[in-house]
Every structure is written in C-alpha cells, then in structure tokens.
Structure 1
C-alpha cells in the first residue's frame, strides 16, 4: 500500500464509519516502532505504522485507523479526545476501533532461575545470576550455600 492508497482508505473509513470527511493528510511514518498510529494535535495529520499492516493484515490496520480517526473527529468537535475520556471510549466502541494494537516485538524468553540451598537452615534461594558460593553465605543463618539445579 502506498501513501495515496492510505489517504483514500482513511477518507473512505472516515466517511463510512463516522459520517464525516477527513480533510487532512494521512501518511506512513517509518519511525513509529511501538505504536500503530499517531494523531498530531496542531496539524491534524495522522501517521501510521506500515509494519502493523504487514504483520497483522488489513483488519487490524483498520482498527488502528478507526482509533486515530476517533482522536481526530473528537478533537475537531471540541469533545474529549484522550484515551481516558468517556466520549473517546464510547465512540471507539461504537465504530469498532481497536483500543490497543498487537505487539510487534518478539516474545522474550523465560529467564532461567538458579536454585541454591543453605546447608545450615535448608532455606531455598532462587537467583537469576550465579552466586559465588565461596564468598557468599546464607543471609538468615550464615550457613554455606550449595548449588542445586537450574529450573
């Protein structure tokens, strides 16, 4: 999808779902990393993240367009356009926009925990980093620590 197709899609979505014209500029912004789109308060232009369209398809991207158009139309009509405002939440639900965009980041691996046991009081100690058992002792009884396993 290019800039002209995006502009046409945003104008059509605005007319179909809001019944109001979109009279400003909609562009793809390659610098957006963690957000699906952005509404500019001063210029009233909309920026969109192309990676959302590529990763999740047109349906998810239309949800982002509706979300940004909610900001746009509410701001121009002097109503509550912020995420916390009641008007914004009601309009977003009415048009079927997405409240949050799916994450583009890769899921992080679960960190392994190291298991130590005190020889004195048998307290179990979990750590993410290795502990030098020659240097450190149990904080409760000052007993010697023994490495058990990785979980």
Structure 2
C-alpha cells in the first residue's frame, strides 16, 4: 500500500463513519516503532506504522485509522480528544475503533525475557536481573561479597 492509497482509505473511512471530511495528510512513518499510528496536534496529520499493515493486514490498519480519526475530529471540534476524555471513549465505541492496537510479534518477543540469576558467594543471597551485569565491577548490596552468575 502506498501513501496515496492510505490517504484515500483515510478519507473514505472519515466520510463513511464520521460523516466529515479529512482535509489533512495521512502517510506511513517508518520511524514509528511502538505504536500503530499517531495524530499530530500541530499539523493535524495522521502517521501510520507500516509494520502493522504488513503483519496484521488491512483490518487492523482500518482500526488504527478509525482510532486516529477520533483524535482528529474531536480535536478539530474543540472537544476532549485525549484517551482519558469521555468524548473520546464515547466516539471510539460509536465507530467501533479499538482503544489499543494488537501488539507486533517483535514487541511480544522483546517483552519475553529470560531472567539472569546471580548469587552472592558470601551470604548466598539471590539476585534476579533482566540484563547481564559485570560481576567484576558489581558486588552484593547486602554484604559486599562477590557475585556469581547461576546458570
């Protein structure tokens, strides 16, 4: 899908569901990593993450566009456009837009971590860490003993 096709899709969803025209730009932003899309308050443009289209398809992307159009139309009208606002939540339900998008596989993979276990050789206290630590540099916080990684 090209940026032109995305623009046409956004305009058609806006007219069909909101009965209002979308007068600004919608385009793919390759720098987006953790979000499906975003509405820019200053320029009124909508940016979409292409990875969601490639991984989850058109249905998921339409949901993201609906969500961002809710921000867009409420902001233009001067009503509550933020996630916590009642106007926003009501409009989301009315048009059937998701509150959050489905996570990408790479996001799920990143969240799944194998904890690293360290044990103090002196007091036998067990430390659990997400990241590897340098055992030559760091010592036990309880007794200042040497740390050893358990496999």
What interval of TM-score do these two structures reach, taking the shorter chain for normalisation? 0.7 to 0.9
Report what 1:92 is aligned to.
Answer: 92
Report what 1:101 is aligned to.
Answer: 101
Q: How many residues align?
A: 143
Q: After TM superposition, give the deviation of residue 115 of structure 1 in Å.
A: 5.1
Residues 126/22 of structure 1: CA separation in 2 closer, same or farther (3 Å cut): same
- Per-residue CA deviations over 1:72-97 (Å, capped at 9, x if unaligned) read 11011111111111100110121111
Long gaps (5+) in structure 1:
none
In proportion to residue count, which structure has more helix? 2
- Distance in 1, matches of 2:59 and 2:118, equals 44
Higher CA-based Rg: 1
Local SS of the residue matching 2:116: coil
Local SS of the residue matching 1:98: coil
Which moves more between the two structures, 37-46 or 52-61? 37-46
The answer on whether the counterparts of 1:36 and 1:101 sit within 8 Å (CA) in structure 2 is yes
Local SS of the residue matching 1:113: strand
- Distance in 2, matches of 1:13 and 1:101, equals 17
Report what 2:77 is aligned to.
Answer: 77
Residues 62/125 of structure 1: CA separation in 2 closer, same or farther (3 Å cut): same
* RMSD, aligned CA: 2.9
Q: After TM superposition, give the deviation of residue 63 of structure 1 in Å.
A: 1.0
Residues 21/148 of structure 1: CA separation in 2 closer, same or farther (3 Å cut): closer
Long gaps (5+) in structure 2:
none
The answer on whether the counterparts of 1:117 and 1:148 sit within 8 Å (CA) in structure 2 is no
Local SS of the residue matching 2:27: strand
- Distance in 2, matches of 1:27 and 1:137, equals 51
TM-score (norm. length: structure 1): 0.76
Report what 2:18 is aligned to.
Answer: 18
